[in-house]
């Protein structure tokens, strides 16, 4: 195979079970050297998925509860370390769309484990879609059955990454639902690329609950 990230050829010998057809051969998209640079999340806060030594609520999630939020029971695959930051730069800002496949299989399994009625991606603004050319979340969750319900109210020319933590937490609602009846009584999984402060996902969850959703969870590639 050829690693999608470093473009280095890696040759792997099949096991006896694979040769005999008793075990499926799963082609891995990246080599071990690249894979080992990403920090998987194993134990995390049960509210936001933050990597920590136990599954107790972190201080941020306690604040969300005080603010009256229903916690998202968020789950993420990886910590946002230097390797993940570089991956996101290459994918989102340098337009290396092909590397969307790197984590696709694991993300599909993560969504399946959520066991909800529908999966709703976080949208990008019209300006971002026109300049970037794609919604990075939809790309990452390719081959997952997604329901596009949310649209952005305002088209901001400034990247989310440019906002400070304070600005993100104090932004007004920026989503609306195109088909409110579709969410009534539904269990929903919201998907995004990265969970940073959680404000984007909570805005999305708020509007879904207002439309009649029964329960809203979320997941992302990184936290």
- Residue 150's CATH number: 3.40.50
* Residues 85, 106 within the same domain: yes
Distance separating alpha carbons of residues 98 and 16, to the nearest angstrom: 32
Distance separating alpha carbons of residues 216 and 147, to the nearest angstrom: 14
Decide if 206 contacts 218 (C-beta within 8 A).
no
Decide if 195 contacts 220 (C-beta within 8 A).
yes
Q: Kindly report the pTM of this predicted structure.
A: 0.86
**How many other C-beta atoms lie within 10 A of the C-beta of residue 172?**
7
* Residues 58, 126 within the same domain: yes
* Residues 93, 153 within the same domain: yes
- Please name the residue ranges forming H helices in the chain: 16-19, 32-35, 59-66, 82-88, 104-114, 126-132, 136-140, 165-169, 199-210
Q: 153-203 pLDDT, tens per residue?
A: 865 445 555 555 555 556 678 899 989 999 999 999 999 999 999 999 999
- 11 has pLDDT over 80: no
* Residues 10, 106 within the same domain: no
Q: Which domain holds residue 179?
A: 40-222
* Residues 113, 8 within the same domain: no
DSSP summary character for residue 92: I
* Residues 135, 194 within the same domain: yes
* Residues 111, 134 within the same domain: yes
* Residues 48, 22 within the same domain: no
* Residues 16, 55 within the same domain: no
- 25 has pLDDT over 80: no
* Residues 21, 83 within the same domain: no
* Residues 156, 213 within the same domain: yes
Q: 102-144 pLDDT, tens per residue?
A: 999 999 999 999 999 999 999 999 889 999 999 999 999 999 9
* Residues 105, 188 within the same domain: yes
Decide if 216 contacts 183 (C-beta within 8 A).
no
Q: 40-72 pLDDT, tens per residue?
A: 999 999 999 999 999 999 999 999 999 999 999
Task: Please state the domain count of the chain.
Answer: 2
């Amino acid at each position: 195979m050829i690693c999608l990230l470093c473009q280095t050829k890696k040759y792997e010998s099949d096991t006896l079970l694979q040769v005999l057809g008793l075990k499926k051969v799963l082609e891995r998209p990246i080599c071990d050297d690249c894979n080992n640079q990403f920090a998987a999340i194993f134990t995390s806060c049960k509210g936001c998925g933050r990597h920590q030594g136990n599954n107790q609520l972190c201080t941020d999630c306690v604040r969300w509860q005080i603010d009256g939020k229903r916690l998202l029971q968020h789950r993420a695959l990886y910590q946002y370390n230097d390797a993940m930051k570089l991956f996101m730069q290459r994918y989102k800002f340098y337009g290396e769309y092909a590397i969307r496949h790197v984590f696709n299989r694991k993300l599909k399994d993560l969504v399946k484990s959520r066991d909800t009625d529908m999966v709703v991606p976080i949208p990008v603004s019209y300006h971002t879609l026109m300049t970037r050319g794609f919604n990075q979340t939809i790309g990452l969750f390719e081959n997952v059955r997604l329901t596009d319900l949310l649209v952005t109210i305002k088209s901001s020319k400034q990247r989310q990454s440019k906002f400070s933590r304070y600005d993100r937490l104090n932004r007004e609602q920026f989503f609306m639902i195109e088909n409110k009846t579709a969410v009534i009584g539904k269990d929903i999984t919201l998907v995004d690329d990265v969970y940073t402060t959680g404000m984007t996902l909570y805005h999305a969850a708020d509007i879904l609950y207002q439309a009649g959703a029964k329960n809203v969870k979320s997941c992302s590639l990184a936290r």
